[in-house]
Amino acid sequence: MIGRTAAAAGHRAIVRSDGGISVADRPTVLPGPGELLVATEYAGLCGTDIQMLRGLRDDPAPVVGHEGVARVVAAGEGTPETLAPGTLVAVNPTHPTDPGFLLGHNVDGLLQERTLLPATAVAGGRVLVLPESTDVTLAALLEPLAVVRYAVDALRAFRPTTLLVVGDGTVGHLAVRAAARWLGTRTRVVLVHHTSAGRAFSAASPYPADVLLDAGELAEAKLGGSVAALVATPRDATVAALEAVIRATESDVVVDIVGGVPPGATAPSLPGVDLGAVRAANCGGVPDPILVTTTDRGIRLVGHRGVANQHLVASAAELARAPERYRDLITHETDLDGAARVMRALAGSPERTVDGRRLIKLSVRVTEERTSDDRHPADR
pLDDT over 90 for what percent of the chain?
87
What is d(CA 171, CA 192) in angstroms, rounded to the nearest whole number? Answer: 12
Q: What is the pLDDT of residue 304?
A: 95
Q: Are both 147 and 185 inside the same structural domain?
A: yes
Q: What is the pLDDT of residue 145?
A: 98
**Could you read off the pLDDT of 1-56 as tens digits, one per residue?**
334 556 657 999 999 998 899 999 999 999 999 999 999 999 999 999 999 999 88
Question: Same domain, yes or no, for 63 and 187?
Answer: no
Same-domain status, 258 and 358: no
309 found inside a domain: no
Q: Are residues 346 and 288 in the same domain?
A: no
13 and 23 Cβ atoms separated by less than 8 Å? yes
The string of pLDDT tens digits covering residues 190-209 is 999 999 999 999 999 999 99
In which domain, by residue range, is 367 found? 11-134+326-379
SS (H, E, C) 147-161: HHHHHHHHHHHHCCC
243 belongs to a structural domain: yes
Within 156-235, residue ranges assigned H as helices are 170-182, 196-203, 215-220
Q: Are 105 and 61 in contact (CB under 8 A)?
A: yes
Which pLDDT belongs to residue 2? 39
Count of the separate structural domains present in the chain: 2
149 and 278 within one domain: yes
* Domain co-membership, 232 together with 372: no
Examine the domain organization and report whether 170 and 281 are in the same domain.
yes
Same domain, 199 and 330: no
The answer to whether residue 311 is domain-embedded is: no
3-state helix, strand, coil in the chain (%, to 5): 30, 25, 40
Assess if residue 30 is contained within a domain: yes
* φ, ψ (nearest 5 deg) of residue 122: -70, -50
**CA-to-CA dists, residue 290 to 278, 282, 335, angstroms:** 11, 6, 38
Same structural domain, 256 and 370: no
Per the domain annotation, does 359 fall within a domain? yes
Tell me which amino acid residue 134 is: T
Q: Are residues 181 and 209 in the same domain?
A: yes
* pLDDT, average across residues 248-276: 92
Q: Is residue 280 part of a domain?
A: yes
For the CA atoms of 231, 232, 237, 242, the dihedral, rounded to the nearest 10 degrees, stands at 0
* pLDDT over 90 at 212, yes or no: yes
- Who has greater pLDDT, 134 or 236? 134
Each residue's pLDDT tens digit, 301-342: 999 999 999 999 999 999 999 999 999 999 999 999 999 999
Q: With 0-12 CB in 10 A as exposed, 13-18 as middle and 19+ as buried, what is 133?
A: exposed
Specify burial of residue 3 (Cβ count, 10 A radius: 0-12, 13-18, 19+).
exposed
Across the strands, what pairs with 34? none
Asked whether residue 200 is assigned to any structural domain, the reply reads yes
Do residues 148 and 271 both lie within one domain? Answer: yes
Q: Does residue 180 fall inside a structural domain?
A: yes
Whether residue 251 contacts residue 298, with contact meaning beta carbons closer than 8 Å, is answered with: yes
Provide DSSP, 32-100.
Answer: -TT-EEEEEEEEEE-HHHHHHHTTS-----SS---EEEEEEEEE-TT--GGG-TT-EEEE--B-SS-TT
Looking at the structure, tell me whether residues 297 and 343 fall in a common domain. no
